[in-house]
Every structure is written in C-alpha cells, then in structure tokens.
Amino acid sequence: QYNTMVLKGNKFGNISGEKWLYEIFWYSRDISPLEYRLLAWKAYLFGFTGVGFWNYSKTTLSQNFPSSTYLNGRQDHSVVYNGRNGNLLSSFRWESFYLGMQDYLKLKSLEQVKGKEYVRKIVSEMLSSASDNEKKQILIDLNKEFVD
C-alpha cells in the first residue's frame, strides 16, 4: 500500500525545494483512518514537507452520496462526498488526515523548543508502535507537551 522505496532511505539524493510523500495509492477504503493521520508523521521523520494520497474526491456535483451505487466496495477512493443540498460530507479518513496535518505542525513547534532529536524519537516510537493503544498514548503525550 505504501511507497516503501521512499521510506527506505533517501534514494533521491539531495533534492532542492520541497519533497512530498505520496502514499495510499489504491483501495483507500480498506486503509485504517489512522494510516491517513500517520502520513504526516512519516513526512516529518523522513524530511518531507508535504504529503499526498489518492484521491480527494471522485464524485461530481451531480452525484449525490446517498444514491451513488459505486461508493460501495473498493471502487471508491474519495475522502469527501457530496451530500444533500450541496453540502460536503467528510469521512473518517479525511478527518484523520486533517489531524495528521495538525500533528505535523505540533511536531515542528515542539522541535523548536526541545530539539529535532527529541521529536524524532517521539515520531519513531509512533511509527513503530504495535498497538492502537500505544499510538493513542503517544498522541495524548504529544498534546500534553502543549498544555503543561
């Protein structure tokens, strides 16, 4: 599911400008929303300044979420949908991706205060944690850094 070529070290050499991590290429509904959140954590760890995934929305303005039959199963890659009356409907995957972007900003802010190695240790623990409970605790601890 992931572009592991990118994650196994910097195979691109020194690239000037922004580097983006692009993952979750297909079967996005089969991917845990937490994985969308962790995209930003991977970007931080490997020095990327942006993240992307396939696909924001496959629907058109004329397609209505409740009546779209193709939304069932693996054919759907969207993270937002058209609702009734033109309102957008979010998904857990989109909300989780948004939280990941917020996490990235927190990690960068914490880096300014506690240093890059301190933050990289937190990120490494998050990405190597085996259970969702361990990941949740790391998120709680990260947020405590900004409350204390």
Task: Return the closest-CA partner of residue 44 out of 25, 19, 26.
Answer: 19
Left, alpha or beta for 27 (phi > 0: left; psi -120 to 50: alpha)? left
Q: Is the pTM of this model over 0.75?
A: no
| For residues 31-58, average pLDDT | 82
144 pLDDT exceeds 60?
Answer: yes
Q: Return the top range by mean pLDDT from 6-15, 75-84, 135-144.
A: 135-144
Whole-number average pLDDT of the chain = 76
Higher pLDDT, 84 or 40: 40
Instruction: Convert the pLDDT of each residue in 126-140 to its tens digit.
Output: 999 878 889 989 999
Q: Which two tokens stand for residue 121?
A: 């240790």
Alpha helices (runs of H) in 12-72, residue ranges in sequence order: 33-45
92-114 and 132-144 helices, crossing angle to 10°: 50
